[in-house]
Structures are given as C-alpha cells and as structure tokens.
Structure 1
Amino acid sequence: MKANYLSCSFTRFTSSTLILLCLIGNALPISAAGFKASVVKIDITPEKSQNLIGYNPRMSKGVLDRIYHKVVVIDDGKQQFFLVSSDLAAIAPSTYDHAAERLSKLFKIEHKNFWWTNTHTHSAPEVGPPGVIKLFLGERYQETYDKEYTALVEDKLVEAVTQARKILIPARLGVGWGFSMANVNRRARDIDNVTGLGINPDGPIDRRIGLIRLDKADGTPLALIANYPIHGTALNETNLKISGDVPGVVANYVEEKIGAPLLFINGAEGNVAPIYSQGSSVARLMQFRSLLGDKILEANKRITSTTTELTLKTSVMIVETPRRPDLKTWPEDLERYSRTTKAGLNLVRIPVSFLKINDDIAIWAAPLELFCEVSNNVRERSQFPFTFYYGIANGTLGYLPTKEEIPLGGYEPLISPFTAEAAQDLTEAVDSFLQGEMKSLR
C-alpha cells in the first residue's frame, strides 16, 4: 500500500496560487477493517526541580497537581492518526521534529499523522530550545533548558504511542459544540488605546467548545477531546508548584466524572486569558471546574449520535509570510522554518496541518499562539459543520496577532516575529485549502 503526503506552499506574493508537491511516503500498519481507537495517559511530572519560564524564570518547588501526556490513536482501517496533548508550557518545533523522526523510524508514522499539542500551562516546564521568544526576551533564558527532562518527556511520548498502538479496539465517534464564559480577551485598553496585558471584556473572543468523543463499541466512554482557547495563567509567577493550571484542573475534574481521559487541546489563545488570570489563589483556579469543566460535561451529554463509519484524510501546507524586517537573526534550531528569497526577503515558514474526519469535521493546526479573530473568521467561512483550530501544535513560532492589533503594541506584538500581513496570509491560505483541496480529498 502507498500513502500520499500532501504539502502545499503559499506566499503572499502569489496569493491566488497554491503550489502542490506530492511525495510518496511509507505506509502505516493497517488494522482489521473498521474504525478502531485507543487512548493512553502517562505521567510526566518531573522528579527534580524545574525552571518554569511561563513568566520570569523561577524554579519549581513541589507539585500542586501532576502533569501528563495523553495520546489518542484513531484508525480508520487504512491509516492511523496520533493526537497528543501534554501538560507543558511549550514544546520547541525542533523537539517535535525529533520526536516525529523517532516515530517515523520506529513505526513508519508520517509526520502529517502525528500532532503534538501542549496545554500551555505556565506552571510546568518548557521542553526544548526556547526558539523565537529568546530573540525578544533573552533575560528569561540565562540558563540552558533541562535536556535530561526534555529527553524524558520525549521517551515517555514514544512509550505512550507504543502502548496505544497495541490496544486499539472497535470504537464509535461523536462530535458536538459547547459554550463557556471561562475566558476573556486579555488586550486591555486605556483611554488613549495604550494596550497591555489585562482584561478587555469588549474585545474579540471565542467561547465555543469543540468536542470529539470516542466511545467503546458498547457505548461507554473511551476518551474525550475538548478544544477551547485559554491561557494557562490562572496561577501567577508566585506559584512555584508544578500544575496543569486551568487545562489540567479541568481535565482532572471531567475525567473523574466520565471515567475516561480528557485531552485538552488549546485553541487560538494568543489574546485570550482565563477570566481569573494571574491570581495566586488555588481556590480561584478550582472554580474553573465549574466555569469550564461543567460546560464540557453538559456539551458531552448533548452528543447523542455516534458512528462506527470513519474516514481520515490528513495533509500539511506550508504558509510563507514575511518576517519582521527588524528581526535580523533567527534561531539555528528553527532553520527549516525560515527561508530567504533571492531578493533577500526573509520569510517565516508556518506548517499548517489538516485533518478531515468523514465529510463534516475539519481540523486545522499550527505552531502558533494565534489571535482568536483569525480562527473565528476561518470557522465562520468554513463549509464544514465542525471546524476546529488546534493551537500551539507541533511546537510554537510565537504570537501571530491581527493587522489591527499590531499598531496598538503591547506584549504579544512586541515578541511576535510576524508582520501585519501574516494574519491575512494565513487566513487566505487556510480558507483556500478548506474550500478547495480539503473538500476534494478522497
């Protein structure tokens, strides 16, 4: 059997053209006919003190709640798709690349079929080199990242994938929407439009919960995948205990209620905070069990229809957009994520991944802290009833703000490697793919 790898390249200078490069890749193991799935949850809580870089550097002291890899495998009988959610602050693109290469060599898993997301809790370590953010906030990275812990995280990931491949069982899939007011736009405005971190109740926001539920053949829950945009910043930098923050606390609560793992997949959280943000109170953090956890449970109950018929289609597109002109250097470990044209223009290369499930679910993912307006616009124009954006996937290339927000300054535009055209470049490319190639994938 042959498996096709689809990679598309898009530049703003040829916005009407998508260049398709089709390469033949290795086939994945084929299961017996029919839809199967599995889930594995594995502890990655560090034993030693770790540098928590979500705010200013600080060393962890103890554990508030344990952190995990959660791996779901979906097998439609022809190919397997691997989705990982990890309770980490960030994952370097180069760390994703290395893990993807290991899985390719071990199991012939194509990169396009392996997505590694992180929940973006600011009370857990970053894994791998700091990447783009060090170019702007070098003072955060006076110490080298913990290579021993990074190796452990990667080893545990491979271990979890190995286990998950062995325990596939017949399954059913359901999909639905929920709604929660647990988040708020964090681009606070003064009377002169000076913008900084805070809360902006009138700002753009995305409060939809995208749910995918996997059931066993008998209808009992196997795993729940919840997609919602929110920074993991309910705890502030005075907290020194390892914690999954909002995504971790919510996942633990929902798992207790349904008796199955919950993969929390962050959305376009670039300008989105918890409604209680950077508060040192653990009691405030626990309120998200009601604010978001109960809303996930309510949405889950509304999923009354599931299917055993499943077809998966995956693809990857490279969106090229100009790099900020004042950004003269680029991290060595991100060499494959940049290109310089013959005319001397520096471009950032953003890998955008796509997953189509049957004809009604379209998921796109990117290594970005994306402003929610972008994913909202894509979803509104999509022809797929269920269109989800999985953010901070397969590493991170930093914040991608909108054209309107960049002139207002503030934290996110300050440390973004992108120009004001990037949001439009990304939107046009994703819209075009969803309405064209994604629709025609067979």
Structure 2
Amino acid sequence: MLFFQPLLNRVPIRKLFLLIAVSLLLPTISPAFDTKAGGFRAAVVKVDITPEGHQMLLGYGARRSTGVYDKIYHRIVVMDDGKTQFVMVSSDICVMSPTEYDKVAARLSKELGIAPVNFWWTLTHTHSAPEVGPPGLPELFMGERYRHKFDSDYTEVVERKLIEAVREARNKLAPARLGVGWGLSNANINRRGKGVDGKAFLGMDPDGAVDRRIGLIRLEKADGSPLALLGNYPIHGTVMGGENLLISGDAPGVVAEYVEQQVGAPMLFINGAAGNLAPIYSVYPSPQAGKLHQFKVLLGDKVIAANKNLKATTDQVTLKSGGITVETPRKEGLGWLPYLSDYTRTTKAGVNLVRLPVRFLHINDDIAIWSAPLELFCEISNEVRDRSPYPYTFYYGYTNGWLGYLLTEAEIPHGGYEVTVSPFSPSAGKDLTDAVVNHLQGKK
C-alpha cells in the first residue's frame, strides 16, 4: 500500500480504482497494438502466357512455331516485410531487350507504385519460346535473324498478364515464412569444347569450369505449408535445338512443372551464370531425342531433395534492395543501337563504355542475391560467391534484359561463339567481379 500512498493523497478513490483497472488490462490488450503490420508477408501467382497462334521463336535462327509441346508461364512472387515490397518474376522466355524491362517497370511504377529497384524480371532462357518486345543487342550481332517485326500484340499480352498478376499477388499477401538452403545437381556441363589448336566451339568440356549448386529459397504459409520455391540453377534452355518448332519451357519449364506437382506449390526457376553451361543433353531435334523428361530426375528430384533438407524457416524477415551501375569499356570497333542509349556512354577521352545495371537483394543477414542483364560465365559468379561474406550468395542471370555474354579474360583468346556476341572488352569480368564483391563486403 505504500506504493499507492502518494496517489491516495492526490487522486479521488474512484479514479484511482479506474487507473488500477486500466493498468491491469493493458498487458492483455497491448499485443493488439504491438502490431506485426511490419511482419513478413508473401504471395505467389502463376499465369499462362502460351500464345494462341504461331509465333517467331527466339534462341536460334529465325523460325516460326508450329505447335505447343508444353505451356509457358509467368510465375510471380511478391514479398513484403512491412517496409519493402519486392516483386520477383520468372518467365519462360529466352532473352529480352533491357528497354522491354524498362517499359514494364515504368508501367508498374505508374500503375502500382512499385519502384523499379524492387521489380526483377528474370527469364528462364528457354530457346523454344516466342519473342517478346524488340530484339535489343542481338540485333547488333545477328541482324539476319531479325528482319521481321516482332509481334507487338503478343508482347502486349505478356506485359498485361504480368502486371495483372503482380496486382493479384499484392492483393493476396498473407503472413509467411522464409527459409534458405543449398542443393546439388549434375544436370549441366561446360559447353566450351576446345580442339588441339585451343579454339573453342559449342560442344562439351567435362574438365571445364562448372557450377552445380542449387540455391533454394522456400516460402511457406503461416501454418508451414508450402507457398512457393525459388530455385536458382545455371543451365542453358537448349535441350531442344533449332530444328524444334514446338513452344516449350525446355528443361527449366519441365523441371518447374514437375517440382510443382510433387511439392504442391509454384516454383520460380531462376537461371544463374549459364553463359558457358549447357544441359548434358543439348540441341536435339525433339523432346524425345533430347530425353527432356530425364531432367525431372537429373534436376527436379535434386530441387525436391534440397527442399526436404531445408529444415528451418522464419517469419522474421527483412528485405533490403539496391543497385549499382558498373561501367566497363566496350569492345573496340563495336557500334551500338540508338534505343539502347541508356546503356552506354562515351567519356571525354573518347572511350565507349557499357553501363551495366546490377541489382541486389539482401534478406536478413545471411542471404545476398545479385542480378544482371547478362549471359555470365560461371567462373565469375563462383568467385563472387567465394568472396562474399554472406553464407548464401546467389546470382540471378538473364534479369531485367540482356546485354550479351560476359566472359572471363582467360577464355577470350580461345574465341568461339560467345566472344562474337559479347560487347565487352577483356577487362569486363574483373570490373564486374570487383564492383559486386566490394558492394557485398561493404554491405556486410
């Protein structure tokens, strides 16, 4: 009673009892105000983008589809930590111009208020999917493939379905949990074959550099049931070659569909540094000849195993996005396309530079994801991962456009196809690696 004595001297007894009653109630009602509006939420949407008619396919020489082997999709995940809302889109498309990404990013910003830094659009790199938007840099290297106009109607369908799906996913946001882990698959192989003269060609090099890690992020509903998987693995979508005229997601699409059937939730297949990595069965004339179904076992079952081995998830999630622009000299004598002017500049000394937009997503203190509009050689992403202070460092390739192959300096003297479709000078690999590692080490 000594504690209340000063109050008794100043406060009428009825008011005192009221104060005591309210104080006793506060612990009971305070959790309602200790809001988890900042708690982690997520949602996923999968939408069919298979065209109704025949389309020009992208990935080999100019050719028109004659039918559909399997459907192609947008798969969209939206994550929200209460401060940052992040949109991840994986589409069964080969490559696209950065200007196509810029166009859709501008629409998302205007219509939904999503900042471009929080919108990543990554492509699975299947070579059996339709063109979307203008060709971009490939027009500079392989103009003979692009003498036709791209289908603006189909492009508009792809854009509209993406934006509608993002809107739907935002409306479906619900409490969620996140986990991360690694897996391993031997479904890929270095494709830079070399002859006795040291010259490279598109073949197989079992002794060449490779990256066979699966980087897996799992999203769960609040009750622990599966919501979505984000599976990151580097592999060309080239099980089927240029003779194939059927629309297909190729190995990435088949693997994603299979995993979804087994797990019961959508899987975003996110390609990695696949610039010099092919599927172990590559460029066959048909799905049957290329044993496309076997990738369900070679890669799909490995994703499922990684998911089973991922034991811990959390609802305490913080998202931090950002980006840098890496400038590196352009290959000598190479021209440029006017509508890609935002991706180059010339110094006062007359040096032409390529301007590479690199994005980052940091999840809590242990996950760092970086992306670039590149067909990157795996040695570069391997080195970044080895030097990163984050235990889980993933590279998301073919993201927000395509600005060509980026090789290591050691591989350039061997020549080969990739050198002919690269706009970069030999220093680009080091320039990119140093910039990304410096960012990651500085953030940590």
- Give the TM-score, by structure 2 length: 0.91
Which residue of 2 is the match for residue 396 of structure 1? 402
- Distance in 2 between the 1:144 and 1:135 partners? 15
Which residue of 2 is the match for residue 39 of structure 1? 44
1:173 aligns with 2:178: yes
- Distance in 1 between the 2:133 and 2:410 partners? 32
The amino acid of 2:93's aligned partner reads: L
Shift of 1:343: 1.1
Which residue of 1 is the match for residue 20 of structure 2? none
Which residue of 1 is the match for residue 150 of structure 2? 145
In 2, are the aligned partners of 1:337 and 1:349 still within 8 Å (CA)? yes
What is the alpha-carbon root mean square deviation over aligned residues? 1.1
Which residue of 2 is the match for residue 307 of structure 1? 314
Which residue of 1 is the match for residue 300 of structure 2? 293
Which residue of 1 is the match for residue 65 of structure 2? 60
1:415 to 387, 399, 421: 421
1:162 aligns with 2:167: yes
In 2, are the aligned partners of 1:115 and 1:393 still within 8 Å (CA)? yes
- Distance in 1 between the 2:379 and 2:90 partners? 23
In 1, are the aligned partners of 2:96 and 2:136 still within 8 Å (CA)? no
1:372 to 367, 373, 378: 378
The C-alpha deviation readout for 1:11-69, integer Å capped at 9, x for no partner, is xxxxxxxxxxxxxxxxxxx9923100000000100111111121111100110000000
Q: After the TM superposition, which segments of 4 or more aligned residues of structure 1 sit over 4 Å from their partners?
A: none
Which residue of 2 is the match for residue 246 of structure 1? 251
In 2, are the aligned partners of 1:36 and 1:75 still within 8 Å (CA)? yes
Shift of 1:126: 2.5
The amino acid of 2:411's aligned partner reads: E
- Distance in 2 between the 1:260 and 1:106 partners? 28
1:110 aligns with 2:115: yes
Instruction: Give the alignment of 1:338-357 within 5 angstroms.
Output: 338-357=344-363
The DSSP-based 3-state class of the residue aligned with 1:83 is: strand
In 2, are the aligned partners of 1:90 and 1:125 still within 8 Å (CA)? no
1:362 aligns with 2:390: no
The C-alpha deviation readout for 1:344-394, integer Å capped at 9, x for no partner, is 111000000000000000000000000000000000011100000000100
More displaced, 131-140 or 348-357?
Answer: 131-140
The DSSP-based 3-state class of the residue aligned with 2:68 is: coil
Shift of 1:281: 4.0
- Distance in 1 between the 2:91 and 2:408 partners? 27
1:98 to 76, 100, 103: 103
Instruction: Give the alignment of 1:308-323 within 5 angstroms.
Output: 308-323=315-330
The DSSP-based 3-state class of the residue aligned with 1:287 is: helix
More displaced, 105-114 or 225-234?
Answer: 105-114
Q: Which structure has greater helix proportion?
A: 2
The amino acid of 2:336's aligned partner reads: W
Instruction: Give the alignment of 1:422-441 within 5 angstroms.
Output: 422-436=428-442, 438-439=443-444
Shift of 1:280: 2.4
In 2, are the aligned partners of 1:31 and 1:75 still within 8 Å (CA)? no
The DSSP-based 3-state class of the residue aligned with 1:91 is: coil
The amino acid of 2:72's aligned partner reads: I
The DSSP-based 3-state class of the residue aligned with 2:298 is: helix
State, as a whole percentage, how many aligned pairs show the same letter. 62
Gaps of 5+ in 2: 1-34
The amino acid of 1:112's aligned partner reads: V
- Distance in 2 between the 1:315 and 1:275 partners? 35
Shift of 1:142: 1.1
The amino acid of 1:428's aligned partner reads: D
Which residue of 2 is the match for residue 12 of structure 1? none
1:256 to 253, 261, 264: 261
1:405 to 395, 411, 418: 411
Which residue of 2 is the match for residue 51 of structure 1? 56
Instruction: Give the alignment of 1:164-203 within 5 angstroms.
Output: 164-203=169-208
- Give the TM-score, by structure 1 length: 0.91
In 1, are the aligned partners of 2:97 and 2:137 still within 8 Å (CA)? no
- Distance in 2 between the 1:90 and 1:282 partners? 21
- Distance in 1 between the 2:38 and 2:360 partners? 24
The DSSP-based 3-state class of the residue aligned with 2:37 is: coil
- Distance in 2 between the 1:196 and 1:326 partners? 23
The C-alpha deviation readout for 1:137-192, integer Å capped at 9, x for no partner, is 11111111111111111111101001001000100101000000000000001111
Shift of 1:332: 1.8
In 1, are the aligned partners of 2:318 and 2:364 still within 8 Å (CA)? yes
Which residue of 2 is the match for residue 324 of structure 1? 331
